[in-house]
């Protein structure tokens, strides 16, 4: 098996950053870590049940105001 040095690891990380973007990369790392942990637990026969920690759920951001929402428009009735 070939050795993976720091240069190869840096190249792979740069490619992943370009492909997935900086916002999505931490989420992918967490998913990969959870998957590896579950795999190790199933292979080793570790029977302890740990509750999964839930990530903090942020409320959706309100849409940015453009100024048009606050304006009242008067219509002429003829």
Q: For residue range 24-61, list pLDDT tens digits in order.
A: 988 988 999 999 999 998 888 765 555 555 555 666 67
pLDDT at 75 over 80: no
| pLDDT exceeds 80 at position 23 | yes
pTM (whole model) above 0.75: no
25 in Cβ contact with 16 (< 8 Å): yes
């Amino acid at each position: 098996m070939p050795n993976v040095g720091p240069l190869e690891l840096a190249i792979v990380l740069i490619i992943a950053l370009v492909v997935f973007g900086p916002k999505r990369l931490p989420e992918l790392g967490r998913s990969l870590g959870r998957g590896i942990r579950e795999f190790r637990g199933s292979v080793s026969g570790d029977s302890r049940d740990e509750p999964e920690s839930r990530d903090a759920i942020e409320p959706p951001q309100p849409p940015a105001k453009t100024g048009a929402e606050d304006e009242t428009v008067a219509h002429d009735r003829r």
